[in-house]
Chains A and B, each alone.
Chain A
């Protein structure tokens, strides 16, 4: 770690509510440590705004280690910023140069109304999970874990899909505004595992129906989601979702 500082200009989106008119606000920031994370840079800006008696930028964040999925913004046109497989909180200022102008906007998708500044309402993702993103097993005394044998490569594939953090960057990056990578990841995790297969048909149909209900678009293979996904989830999961959905549509017993 070598400490250096840079001076930057940020153009950041301000919007006081879902229906309010938003606009970019410009701030010059001096002596930002390149060891700082992107969110720590916004902290510095907010401290400065507060001392000036101005309202700080509202933004979502919590774990600041790339796992809770709470943070996210579009940085210079890319959801979560320029680094591959990185959440906004893991992006560091060493990625930027002295004199850079950085444009920061909220995630935009039909299904994610803006709450304030960079904060958006992603409750649609919870509704999609509630529609069927689970294995219906009550707490009790299930059989011993080792009676369900799962080949290592299958467990690894399921884990690749299960790594989704539900940040919504996939929908924000997609020209159709669809969270199908999110959905595909959950459907795939359970479709791959024996525990999930019993309900596979019902799950695929119910989750897609809920996605439609929340006003999201559909996948047309732009692969923008895959490019920004901080957990490297591939669109093979969307292909699997489509197979599961089709299979279910033709064969489900009503």
Chain B
């Protein structure tokens, strides 16, 4: 596997211009002869589909849900960053770049992050033009709020529903192209495999989730915008259908998988309540603008929060990090919450929770103002917990939320398989070892609106504009393998074997992942995970019950296929975590910490992207390294004190 990041030479600020100028172009009359498959209709997928359709390409767009508008980007709450400097508070493209590289603990590529900061301003303008109802000041100008890891106010938002509004912007732009005949929409399709012919991506195999039919689709290029792999933990804030299958299948077809151990555990989620719980709910980081995090000073204090006097509360983030306070980056906030609970200060029935308190904000700004900013989040919280955050503090605890790792891509967002691109959370490119709040929306839309549409032409210009087909035997071979897997998943039930449900195995896997590869990791735990995961996998294939058939709508079968892939992927995640013997961002190795329990990087040995190459079932994957060099910033020990 050759890793050529294709980063243009020259000064940081000129790299993207240089790339755009040196890219080959596809003549407007020829664009209509090319077909592009885009899998996923979240921010990265829908924005790319809309834009490529507008440019004249023929797009085939696929989504798992009944409508492209339901992709999980819809659930992003807090906002989207851009360096507009509307607040006149000293923001700039370079500062957004710097904050993002530093927030990522110096484990991202400088060039990619700088480009992200450069195009971020265009995103805001584009979304405003589409009619996205961003929050406004009284004078009619765009409003901003603050987010973790930054000391400027640069986050644009639409109440607590920013992801929804941005996604609806991209979705409606895409539906306009559907009406124009440039985008063909395939809903309720799940990508089951990538088809590679002579080393080049040529198409995909899908399962039609309504009929069960295994379908073949061809194109001149394939884009995966299929999101992250957080559901390997079973409980996460991801939507139920979010999965790793598309990315994992691409990996098994030759795409390098980068930094799978970088998982973001978000500090402000609603604590787990019981064993039947199916998912966790995020409470936006924007709440940390006004909410104060605290735990009782006394261990095991069981008094009601409102009965604990001010002097007996420990506002530990404000105490430990006076300059960033409650707005430290997510990884820092999460680890501190875990530490407080591990030391016996946790609150709630399980002791796995800390308070997020709005009493002071309500007193200072009035209930109206606080509700205008966070009303829908408070509503959501009250629905789930039956407790009113305007009357008593919220209880929160960290939960798996976002995955910084993903398919390795070069500066053009192409994977190691020619013709296969990965965008948004599906790739690894911009967030290093920790993503800052309000940067996921920025990256998804940057990739889809402003990066891929330029770079994909550079590839397509080298491909003959002749019609594609699914005649190559590679298509039938891949489809047959999918049908074979379906038969194997259904086998136990057909034979009347007693066993366990898909969820049972998913929970088993999730528990191992959370305990051994969660917020704090160590060698013994990771080795334990590497021993247990193959055991659970073997048991899964031996005992899983999947009722029904493959020729119909079968939700158990859908889940079984996803969990089968998580059971393989989890092992790679643990292996990568074991291999990275340093702490950085979301990856915290207990063996590598400062005296103050902060993450301690090892730049001498680990300033690289870890890229894994698949070598076949039962064979260990091979590790490749893309060195990270920093010419414009100096990696420092992150300090938010």
Q: A: which residues have CB within 8 A of B?
A: 1, 3, 33, 35-37, 39-40, 43-44, 47, 49-51, 53-56, 58, 60-70, 83, 85-86, 90, 92, 94, 115-116, 119, 121-123, 125-126, 129-131, 133-146, 148-152, 155, 158-159, 162-163, 165-166, 189-190, 193, 195-196
B interface list, Cβ under 8 A from A: 47, 50-51, 54, 65-70, 72, 74-75, 84, 86, 122, 124-131, 133-142, 158-159, 161, 164-165, 168, 171-173, 175-176, 178-179, 185, 187, 210, 239-241, 273-274, 276-279, 281-282, 348-349, 379-380, 383-387, 449-450, 453, 493, 496, 500-501, 503, 545, 547-548, 552-553, 555-556
A47 vs B503: C-alpha distance when bound (angstroms): 8
Is A58 in contact with B555, judged by CB distance below 8 angstroms? yes
**A166 near B75: Cβ-Cβ < 8 Å:** no
Decide if B179 touches A69 in the complex (CB within 8 Å): no
A126 neighbours in B (Cβ, 8 Å): 67-69, 175, 178, 185, 187
Q: How far is the CB of A156 from chain B (nearest CB, A)?
A: 8
| A64 engages B279 (CB within 8 Å) | yes
Which residues of chain B are near A131, meaning CB under 8 Å? Answer: 179
Residue from B66, B133, B176, B387 in contact with A159 in the complex, judged by beta carbons closer than 8 Å: B133
Establish whether residues A159 and B158, one from each chain, have CB atoms under 8 Å apart when the complex forms: yes
Minimum C-beta distance from B616 to chain A (A): 33
B125 & A143 in contact (Cβ 8 Å cutoff): yes
Q: How many angstroms between the C-alpha atoms of A155 and B136 in the bound complex? A: 7
How long is the Cα–Cα vector from A69 to B65 in the complex, in angstroms? 10
Pick the contact of B384: A68, A90, A145 (CB < 8 A): A90
Contact status B133-A51, CB under 8 Å: no
Question: Could you say which of A116, A142, A151 contacts B136, with CB atoms under 8 Å apart?
Answer: A151
Q: Point out which of B69, B282, B387 has the most chain A C-beta atoms below 10 A from its C-beta.
A: B69
Question: In this complex, which of A70, A83, A149 has the most chain B Cβ atoms within 10 angstroms of its Cβ?
Answer: A70
User: B162: shortest Cβ distance to chain A, in Å?
Assistant: 11
The answer to whether A141 and B131 touch across the interface, beta carbons within 8 angstroms, is no
Interface pair B67/A130, CB less than 8 Å apart: no
A62 adjacent to B126 (CB under 8 Å): no
Inter-chain contact A159/B159, CB cutoff 8 Å:
yes
Chain B contacts of A49 at CB under 8 A?
547
- CB-CB < 8 A to A1: which residues of B? 273, 348-349, 385-387
Nearest to A31 among chain B residues (CB) is: B276
Q: Contact partner of B72 among A58, A68, A162, A165, CB < 8 A?
A: A68
Provide the residues of chain B in CB contact with A115, threshold 8 Å: 210, 553
Beyond A155-B136, A196-B131, 13 additional contacts (C-beta under 8 Å) are: A1-B349, A40-B276, A43-B276, A50-B501, A126-B68, A126-B185, A129-B172, A130-B178, A134-B175, A143-B129, A144-B125, A145-B142, A166-B70
Alpha-carbon separation in the docked complex, A142 to B122 (Å): 8
Q: How far is the CB of A18 from chain B (nearest CB, A)?
A: 10
